[in-house]
Amino acid sequence: AGGKFGGGGYKVSGGLHGVGSSVVNALSTQLDVRVHKNGKIHYQEYRRGHVVADLEVIGDTDKTGTIVHFTPDPEIFTETTTFDLDKLNKRIQ
């Protein structure tokens, strides 16, 4: 959670006091994270807020960035789990 360590930071922060990803993890049935950094792809998997796969290197890459897949928990979000994709796209650029 939080911005980049060691300076830099992000253009837009969607988190709350650096806990954004922790909150998403806690409120999701599943969360999978892939980080492309320093020529490697790092992967970790969570279910209902708990680690189910240790952090591992799963490949090589010439890219940088983070990919997060998650499923909102329907037991918590009982009304809707629909997202405005245009709004999300603008926030993460």
Give the integer Cα–Cα distance in Å for 39 and 7: 21
pLDDT 10s digits, 21-77: 888 899 999 999 999 999 999 999 999 999 998 999 999 999 999 999 999 999 999
Place of tokens 């245009």: 86
User: Does position 5 have pLDDT exceeding 80, yes or no?
Assistant: no
Q: Quick one: CA torsion of 88, 14, 93, 68, rounded to 10 degrees?
A: -70
Q: What integer pLDDT is reported at residue 20 of this predicted model?
A: 80
CB 25 within 8 A of CB 46: yes
Quote the pLDDT of residue 26: 92
Which tokens hold the place of 84? 């405005």
Element spanning 53, H or E: strand 50-60
User: Does residue 14 carry a pLDDT above 60?
Assistant: no
Name the residue ranges covered by the structural domains of the chain.
20-76
